[in-house]
Amino acid sequence: MPHDKPLTGPLSGLKIVDLTAVLMGPSATQMLADLGADVIKVETSVGDATRKIGPQGDAGMGPVYLAANRNKRSIVLDLAQPSGREAFLRLVRDADVLTTNVRPDGMKRLRLTYQDVAEVNDRIIYVSMVGFSQRGRYARSPAFDDLIQAATAIPWAVAANTDDEPHYVPVNIADRSVGLYAFGIVLAALYSRDRTGKGQQVDVPMFETMVPYVLGDHLYGQKFLPPQGDFGYPRLLAKARQPYRTKDAWVCCAIYHDHHWKAFLEVVGMGHLWGTDPRLTTMTTRTAHSEALNAFVRDQLLLRTTAQWQEALATADIPVFPMNTFESLLDDPHLRDIGFFSEVDHPHVGRIREMAVPSEWHGTPPENYRPPPLQGEQSAEILREVGYSESQIEQMLQDGITRQPSASAGARG
């Protein structure tokens, strides 16, 4: 697909000025770009920090950056300079959405608060992704994925489940979850504007977004007043709740409802236990005895191979799936069937893997691919779109207000 082809899809025609960096904000705006929105990534002269992480980091095109910035355009602006701020305001004058994860104090110093931006565009949806609600004592605190995981008790829950020391979940679960929530917030705010004709500011705090993820499961008996039990969903905290080792590998199965348990007991030749073992009687009793029942399943699954269990459990209509590794996930047969992974030529870094948009549209399919841009790759193009002449752009380049990569920047060797 030509890299300069107009974006298509359900959000085609939407203009988003993206002042976010790292992962939470960029993951949200990539979802919008994947669905056809024109996302203009505004970067400082330093650039998005994820550009420097991992292979190709020296070229500013590391894999973490590449994973969250396709289908976008990049412009460099020095917002601390009056002419850089003026260029930014020209960008947002006809934009639908401004997204930022610059701390509110920083936006205030730049004179780019919602009130400042609304003076030039009162229909703007101004989405501020922050660490914490601006009404509480943590309002001015910085936030990163690790901090939010710790603040919401995720490492504690991991330790409670394993009898090990607290550990972070080894994916950026807070950044990605809050990014997904912010994606929904953008669409809801746009729908509100369509009905009211008015723009607004919406703050999306990481901490408050993640608390329900954790306590939605683990408030448990403390949900009631007075409490009717302790914290913690026993099935989720059971130490034996994990992928099960088989004779040759690992397998995951969900023996959850009554019919699952009846079927599993038949598969392992212990059908007589249904109706005689009081622990199995109801969902409530099984939850109360999660530890022992998980251990029972664990011992049974050691007796056959993964392939044997897949066949036996699937035949019994028990949900079952082998445990993938990173490597085997790339070769998953279902993902192969649907062409989820593709190989594309990036004009600056060579051949890379891409993952599909995880939705299938039957009316307005997003058929887009713009490679993640070099830092400032479209600076001149975007400035022209908002009315700057060639001589003005050249002056801004000379003054360091903007940046455009040289013809050899990021070139493949």
Mean pLDDT value across residues 115-135: 98
Mean pLDDT computed over every residue of the chain: 95
The amino acid that residue 125 corresponds to is: I
410 pLDDT higher than 70: no
pLDDT value at residue 1: 42
Share of the chain above pLDDT 70, in %: 97
- List domains and CATH numbers for the chain: 15-212+357-398 (3.40.50.10540), 244-322 (3.30.1540.10)
The band of 2, judged by pLDDT with boundaries at 50, 70 and 90, is very low
**Arithmetic mean of pLDDT, 321-325:** 97
The model carries a pTM of: 0.94
Torsion of CA 374, 375, 377, 383, to 10 degrees: 160
Name the pairing type of β-strands 38-43 and 72-76: parallel
**Which pLDDT belongs to residue 134?**
96
87-100: pLDDT as tens digits:
999 999 999 999 99
Coil vs helix vs strand at 385? helix
At 53, the pLDDT band (50, 70, 90 cuts) reads very high
Per-residue pLDDT tens over the stretch 342-356: 999 999 999 999 999
Are 309 and 301 within 8 A, CB to CB? Answer: yes
What would you report as the CA-atom Rg of the chain, rounded to the nearest whole angstrom?
Answer: 26
pLDDT digits (tens, 9 = 90+) for 3-19: 567 788 999 999 999 99
State pLDDT tens for residues 221-252.
Answer: 999 999 999 999 998 998 888 999 999 999 99
pLDDT value at residue 407: 66
State residue 408's pLDDT score. 60
> What pLDDT sits at residue 85?
99
For residue 112, the model assigns a pLDDT of 99
Euclidean distance between CA atoms 343 and 304, whole angstroms: 37
DSSP H helices in 96-172: 104-109, 114-118, 145-151, 154-162
| Distance of alpha carbon 231 from alpha carbon 157, whole angstroms | 11
Distance CA 53, CA 60 (A): 8
pLDDT at position 391: 98
∠ at Cα 373 (369, 378), nearest 5°?
Answer: 105
pLDDT digits (tens, 9 = 90+) for 32-43: 999 999 999 999
**Do 212 and 201 contact (CB within 8 A), yes or no?**
no
The closest alpha carbon to 16, from 43, 48, 40, belongs to 40
Element (H, E) at 29: helix 24-34
